[in-house]
Amino acid sequence: MPKKKPALPRPTDTELRLLNVLWHHGPSTVREVWTHLGSDVGYTTVLKLLQIMREKGLVLRDEQATSHVYAAALSETETQTDLVGGFIDRVFGGSASRLVLHALGSKSVSPKELKAIRELLDQAEHDGK
């Protein structure tokens, strides 16, 4: 069985924005992250956030180059799975289906998405379990 992970702290909303940059652009320097973020935060703010996120284990950093390169510790998918799990527990008392109900209701879901979801269902059902 898979070794149990130490379990990282849940990223804050702001941290999530930085992680999104790292996921979509790959390992990046502070300046790169800062640039992709638009100009609503200062450079040193981004630096500090990344330093703290590193202490928390949310990101890793390569110090080879003069400008350190940061990378997300967990993939976007892994993080999403973690977040969804906690969210279901906190907000829906553990019921995934109730979450889906609201997911379908809160945002208008395109027919295309409906189709995709339906396929997921077929898939899930087929896997048994």
Is 30 an interacting residue with respect to DNA (CB under 7 A)? yes
Residue 114 makes CB contacts below 8 A (sequence gap 6+) with: none
Please, are residues 69 and 27 in contact by the beta-carbon 8 Å criterion?
yes
64 vs 123 by CB, closer to a copy of itself: 123
Per DSSP, the three-state class of 107 is: coil
The nearer residue to DNA, 47 or 117, going by C-beta atoms, is: 47
Strands (E), the chain: 59-62, 69-72
Q: State which residue, 23 or 43, has the beta carbon closest to DNA.
A: 43
β-strand partners of 72: 59
∠1-99-120 over CA atoms, to 5°?
Answer: 65
> Toward DNA, which CB reaches closer, 38 or 105?
38
Q: Using CB under 8 A, which residues numbered 10 to 49 contact a copy of itself?
A: 13, 16, 20
What is the rounded distance in angstroms from the CA atom of residue 114 to the CA atom of residue 42? 40
Task: List residues near DNA by CB under 7 A.
Answer: 9, 12-15, 29-31, 40-45, 47-49, 51-52, 66-68
Question: Given the rule CB under 8 A, which residues bind a copy of itself?
Answer: 13, 16, 20, 77, 80-85, 87-88, 90-109, 111, 113-114, 116-118, 120-121, 124-125, 129
